[in-house]
């Protein structure tokens, strides 16, 4: 199939996606406040020393860096895939699961091994802070000695 040239462009060397014939008739509404509305945006700006006023080169450098950071955040770690919790996958524990978690805390297990064991044994996703708060509640109720 022969290549079609862009409409109204006139330059044979331009790709089909050429936008040089586009005429902007009205302002485009900005919906993102860079860097604040992007995850890790302020940190990347601080690291690169970027900020207001933005130049085209600064913005290109920022977008390139933020893309690299987001790709790194999605890469698997030494321990396997990173889990992205939205809160929807957190489940309520049954009495049996809660008792098992309390027994692990009583036995002196640190929070991270407790949450991993709960995930492996019961398929329950809990956070490290949940385990720490449960331990504090157990101490306050006298269910655990504060050693």
Q: Which residues, including other chains, have CB under 8 Å from residue 12's CB and lie 6 or more apart?
A: 5
Calpha distance 4→55 (Å, rounded): 35
Say which residue, 11 or 119, is predicted with more confidence. Answer: 119
With a threshold of 0.85, does the pTM exceed it?
A: no
Reported as a single tens digit per residue, the pLDDT across 26-60 is: 887 877 788 888 888 888 988 888 877 888 888 88
pLDDT digits (tens, 9 = 90+) for 3-24: 554 455 777 787 777 777 777 8
Q: Check: CB of residue 12 under 8 Å from CB of residue 21.
A: no
Q: How far apart are CA 42 and CA 60, in angstroms?
A: 15
- Alpha-carbon distance of 14 to 3, in angstroms, equals 11
Structure tokens belonging to residue 82: 């990173």
């Amino acid at each position: 199939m022969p290549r079609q040239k862009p409409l109204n462009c006139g330059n044979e060397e331009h790709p089909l996606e050429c936008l040089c014939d586009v005429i902007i008739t009205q302002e485009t509404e900005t919906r993102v406040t860079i860097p604040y509305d992007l995850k890790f945006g302020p940190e990347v700006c601080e690291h690169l020393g970027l900020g207001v006023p933005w130049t085209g080169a600064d913005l290109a450098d920022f977008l390139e860096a933020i893309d690299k950071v987001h790709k790194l955040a999605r890469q698997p770690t030494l321990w396997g895939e990173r889990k992205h919790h939205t809160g929807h996958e957190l489940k309520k524990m049954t009495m049996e699961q809660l008792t098992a978690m309390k027994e692990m805390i009583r036995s002196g297990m640190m929070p991270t091994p407790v949450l991993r064991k709960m995930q492996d044994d019961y398929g329950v996703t809990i956070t490290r802070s949940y385990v720490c708060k449960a331990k504090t509640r157990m101490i306050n109720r006298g269910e655990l000695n504060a050693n």
